[in-house]
Amino acid sequence: MGILIVVASLSGNTRELGRQIAERCRAAGHAVHWQEADDLRQPAPLAADEADLVLLGSWTDNAGRTPAEMKAWVAGIAGLGQRPRQVAVFGTGETQWGQEYYCGAVHRLIRYFHSGYPPLEIEQMPHGERHAAAIDAWTDAVLAHYRSTTDADHRRHHA
């Protein structure tokens, strides 16, 4: 499967989370393509609508908003007429700014893309065995959900 991971990271927390997810996907035998959301000068390593699965990672800006670089990336693919087939979202946040804003960008992106995948939310920098286990479990669940969704689509179209 071809997976595109797009990351918006301010302090490096979300980038590190994305790296751990990418490693898990590669270990499962998938081709992983990486794009920084704020580097729009470079062509995408894999078009969003050609990827089997797009994994979006974002930090959360003031009052639970999606940061400008992720908004620009989303606007960029929309401008190209690209609509990803399957999108799962992960991110980092800080509860100190209020639980109502925690990982707000994750939830906004899920709503925008009508994603049926569960979110992965990590407070600040992913670290320790508990976070590693949560990241692996989320990645495995996303990959399994993708397989079950595409298998169901395949059966439905060929039954």
The reported pTM is 0.91
Edge to edge, the sheet with strand 2-8 lists 31-36, 2-8, 53-58, 87-93, 120-123
Tens digit of pLDDT for each residue in 122-136?
A: 988 888 899 999 999
**Pairwise CA distance, residues 66 & 109, whole Å:** 8
Q: Is the dihedral of CA 1, 46, 57, 88 positive or negative?
A: negative
CA separation for the pair 159, 153 (Å, rounded): 10
Query: Does the structure show a pLDDT above 60 at 155?
Result: no
* Interval 52-103: pLDDT, tens: 999 999 999 988 999 999 999 999 999 999 999 999 999 998 887 778 888 9
State how far the Cα of 58 lies from the Cα of 56, in Å rounded to an integer. Answer: 7
Q: Beta-strand (E) ranges in 75-116?
A: 87-93
* Domains of the chain, earliest start first: 2-158 (3.40.50.360)
